[in-house]
Amino acid sequence: MILIPAIDLMNNQCVRLSQGDFDTQTVYSSDPVRTALQFENKGFTHLHMVDLDGAKQRTPLHLEMLRAVSVATGLFIDFSGGIRNAEQARQVFEKGASAITVGSMAVNDPETTESILKEHGPEKVILGADVKNEFIATAGWLEQSDKDIFSFLDFWLGKGFRKVMITDVSKDGMMQGPSKELYLKVLERFPDIRLIASGGIATMDDIYQLEALGCYGAITGKALYEGKLSQDDLDVFLKKNKND
Active site residues: 8, 130
What amino acid occupies position 42? K
* Whole-number Å distance between alpha carbons of 48 and 21: 19
CB 86 within 8 A of CB 114: no
* Whole-number Å distance between alpha carbons of 219 and 30: 21
The DSSP code sequence of 136-193 is EEETTTTEEEEEEHHHHHHHHHTTT--EEEEEETTTTTT-S---HHHHHHHHHH-TT-
* Whole-number Å distance between alpha carbons of 18 and 38: 23
Residue 51 bridge partners (DSSP): 9
Q: 136-154 in b/e burial notation, b at 16+ Cβ within 10 A?
A: bbbbbbeebbebebeebbe
CB 5 within 8 A of CB 240: no
Q: What is the distance between the terminal CA atoms of the chain, rounded to a whole angstrom?
A: 11
